[in-house]
């Protein structure tokens, strides 16, 4: 049977003035009509480069095709090698025959046009129909991808939609011309587990209804487990394993595939060090090795009660906290209605404890974290830290207290100044709080911090763009530790990382907690990660605390329907066919 898409022995390199680097080496992939092929691997494995090469979207002359062919069979049955296709033919098939959904919908959508106009534009361009008919088709597409109130979404701008809604608009745009092949490049990364599950189900349903071929790119084997027909695993630009979904999950052959399957937190108990790719690739672990025996890490368990049963004094006490934002204003600027981001929240946090804060986007968890640190001004309530009410503290008093409280943000790249070297970024808080006497002492302290987070001393003079996502997250952690805080808030700090890099960062946080004995709130939408790192879990929904309890109890025996929904939405890793 003739393939819809056939990539044969593709090799691509990137050339700069200094050197030539191989990005993809001898890659061959076949996709049939009605088949979903998952391409899985870490950042830098070559999966996105392979996908972009199909539509000739790689930057030229930086990217060089060394060898290979990409054969595509269009709707008329014409078979063409896309590497030799004319610019006119490529313009014809882009969007019309082959569509692509990118990882970050906000950067893929034009912020100055409404969502409806952007989808309608693609329809008018390729199908040569009137704007009136194109608008109706756009509304129908919005309905198909299950967007609420399509006429309302049609007139909204991208910034007015949630992440999941923006991704559905991108799917509607990709489906607007009934393509034969759909390429999905990490379309669910960093989305809530519930939104992720809905997007995955939507893509699978559309694929089956339209009999499309789909290439689904992901860094997480667990995410593609329930939708893939075939799985291709890429490592350092090469395909190291391929096969039917069940075969790859039940009997992985390559050490890298085994590593990707093993390093997910959901498979490990709290206190068990997570394996990483190097453990398998370097032969340290095999499929028969006991991870608990090889990589022991005893958890730092914290009890809020003494042996006599008397409660310890909490490190942090949040009392009836409210953070309301004005939504609409009446005449003369007085607020009419409010968005209740945090609505009457109370809880306590004890020294050495890890409290997991979990919930979907928009539930108020990040707002709660930032309001605790006084980065957002609360509307009402008290925040007692080490016996002092932060809301009543004077500026100078608050500045001193802030030395003891730090935050690690979700996106390390936007947290670092691109014009400052790593040494300057980590050393800056040391200078602000007068903790070093001179430049030599500052450099020594920064290098010590770099080594704590397993980074080389010679990184001191490099800039943020020279590092990978996992390395940048380690740099941000080093900066947070510079002042030896007793309390840290991790705000979605591992959600967008590769699963293997996520494992490295989680291991690092566990090690550092054991060494520094700090207390932290770990914010995430992923209950499996929260359960792995936390002593207690607090589930948040629509600005309120839905459920609180011991991490294992919440994970294994949730009481509230909302918590049960979050757990049910988690990728299961493998589902019998």
| Tens-digit pLDDT profile for residues 393-402 | 998 888 888 8
Give yes or no for residue 13 having a pLDDT over 70. yes
pLDDT of 304: 46
Give yes or no for residue 327 having a pLDDT over 80. no
Whether 398 and 496 share a structural domain: yes
Whether 400 and 491 share a structural domain: yes
- pLDDT class of 335 with cuts at 50, 70, 90: low
| Tens-digit pLDDT profile for residues 214-256 | 999 998 888 898 899 999 999 999 999 999 999 999 899 999 9
Considering 155, 178, 201, which residue would you say is the last residue of a domain? Answer: 178
Whether 168 and 48 share a structural domain: no
pLDDT of 294: 37
Whether 397 and 323 share a structural domain: yes
Q: What is the CATH number of the domain that holds 93?
A: 3.40.50.300
Residue 102 lies in a domain: no
Give yes or no for residue 533 having a pLDDT over 50. yes
pLDDT of 308: 42
Dig out the tokens for 194 from the structure.
């519930």
Above pLDDT 70, what percent of the chain?
92
Give the C-alpha distances (Å, rounded to integers) separating 90 from 16, 40, 109, 568: 26, 26, 21, 42
Which has more pLDDT, 477 or 297?
477
Element (H, E) at 121: helix 115-127
Give the C-alpha distances (Å, rounded to integers) separating 8 from 27, 67, 68, 83, 244: 7, 9, 5, 11, 19
| Tens-digit pLDDT profile for residues 455-478 | 899 899 999 888 877 788 889 999
Backbone angles phi, psi at 8, to 5 degrees: -125, 120
How many structural domains comprise the chain?
A: 4
Give yes or no for residue 538 having a pLDDT over 90. yes
- pLDDT class of 572 with cuts at 50, 70, 90: low
Query: Among residues 92, 97, 126, which one has the least CA distance to residue 5?
Result: 97
- Return the DSSP state at 365: H
Whether 91 and 238 share a structural domain: yes
| Tens-digit pLDDT profile for residues 157-172 | 988 887 778 888 998 9
Query: Among residues 417, 428, 415, 519, which one has the least CA distance to residue 473?
Result: 415
Give yes or no for residue 577 having a pLDDT over 50. no
Considering 484, 505, 521, which residue would you say is the last residue of a domain? Answer: 484
Residue 273 lies in a domain: no
Q: Which residues contact 459 (CB under 8 A, 6 or more apart)?
A: 422, 450, 467, 471, 475
pTM for the full predicted model: 0.80
The residue-averaged pLDDT of 364-389 equals 93
Considering 467, 484, 501, which residue would you say is the last residue of a domain? Answer: 484
Is the CA virtual torsion 155, 156, 157, 158 positive or negative?
A: negative
In 405-468, which residue ranges form alpha helices assigned H by DSSP? 412-415, 422-432, 439-452
State the residue range of the domain holding 219.
5-97+183-253
**Mean pLDDT of the chain, nearest integer:** 87
pLDDT of 187: 85
Q: Which residue has the tokens 């025959």?
A: 97
Task: Find the angle CA(146)-CA(152)-CA(155) to the nearest 5 degrees.
Answer: 115
Whether 418 and 388 share a structural domain: no
């Amino acid at each position: 049977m003739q393939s819809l898409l056939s990539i044969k022995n593709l090799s691509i390199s990137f050339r700069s003035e200094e050197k030539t680097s191989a990005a993809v080496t001898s890659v061959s992939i076949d996709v049939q009509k009605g088949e979903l092929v998952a391409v899985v691997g870490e950042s830098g494995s070559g999966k996105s480069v392979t996908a972009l090469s199909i539509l000739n979207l790689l930057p030229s002359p930086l990217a060089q095709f060394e060898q290979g062919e990409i054969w595509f069979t269009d709707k008329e049955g014409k078979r063409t090698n896309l590497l030799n296709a004319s610019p006119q033919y490529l313009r014809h098939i882009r969007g019309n025959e082959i569509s692509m959904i990118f990882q970050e919908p906000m950067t893929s959508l034009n912020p100055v046009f409404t969502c409806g106009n952007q989808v309608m534009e693609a329809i008018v361009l390729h199908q040569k129909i009137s704007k009136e008919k194109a608008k109706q088709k756009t509304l129908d597409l919005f309905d198909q991808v299950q967007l609420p109130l399509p006429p309302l979404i049609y007139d909204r701008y991208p910034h007015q939609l949630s992440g999941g809604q923006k991704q559905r608009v991108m799917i509607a745009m990709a489906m607007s011309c009934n393509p034969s092949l759909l390429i999905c490049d990490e379309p669910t990364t960093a989305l809530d587990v519930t939104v992720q599950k809905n997007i995955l189900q939507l893509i699978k349903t559309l694929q089956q209804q339209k009999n499309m071929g789909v290439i689904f790119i992901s860094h997480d084997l667990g995410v593609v487990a329930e939708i893939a027909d075939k799985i291709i695993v890429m490592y350092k630009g090469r395909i190291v394993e391929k096969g039917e979904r069940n075969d790859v999950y039940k009997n992985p052959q390559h050490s890298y595939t085994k590593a990707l399957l093993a390093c997910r937190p959901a498979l490990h108990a709290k206190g068990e060090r997570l394996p990483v790719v190097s453990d398998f690739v370097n032969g340290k672990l095999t499929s028969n090795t006991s991870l608990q025996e090889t990589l022991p890490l005893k958890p730092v368990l914290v009890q809020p009660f003494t042996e006599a049963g008397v409660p310890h004094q909490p490190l942090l006490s949040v009392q009836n906290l409210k953070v309301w934002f004005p939504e609409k204003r009446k005449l003369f600027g007085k607020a009419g209605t409010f968005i209740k981001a945090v609505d009457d929240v109370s809880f306590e946090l004890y020294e050495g404890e890890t409290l997991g804060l979990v919930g979907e986007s928009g539930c108020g968890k990040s707002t709660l974290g930032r309001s605790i640190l006084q980065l957002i001004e609360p509307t009402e309530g008290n925040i007692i830290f080490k016996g002092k009410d932060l809301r009543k503290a004077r500026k100078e008093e608050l500045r001193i207290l802030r030395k003891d409280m730090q935050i690690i943000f979700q996106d390390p790249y936007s947290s670092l100044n691109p014009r400052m070297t790593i040494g300057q970024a980590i050393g800056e808080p040391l200078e602000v709080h007068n903790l070093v006497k001179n430049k030599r002492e500052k450099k020594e302290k920064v290098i010590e911090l770099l080594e704590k987070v397993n980074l080389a001393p010679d990184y001191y003079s490099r800039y943020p763009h020279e590092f990978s996502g996992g390395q940048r997250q380690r740099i941000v952690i080093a900066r947070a530790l510079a002042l030896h805080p007793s309390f840290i808030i991790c705000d979605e700090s591992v959600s967008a990382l590769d699963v293997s890099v996520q494992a490295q960062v989680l291991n690092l946080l566990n090690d550092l907690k054991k060494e520094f004995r700090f207390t932290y709130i770990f914010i995430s939408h992923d209950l499996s990660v929260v359960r792995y790192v936390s002593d207690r879990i607090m589930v948040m929904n629509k600005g309120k605390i839905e459920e609180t309890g011991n991490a294992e109890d919440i994970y294994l025996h949730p009481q509230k329907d909302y918590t049960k929904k979050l757990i049910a939405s988690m990728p299961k890793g493998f589902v019998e066919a």
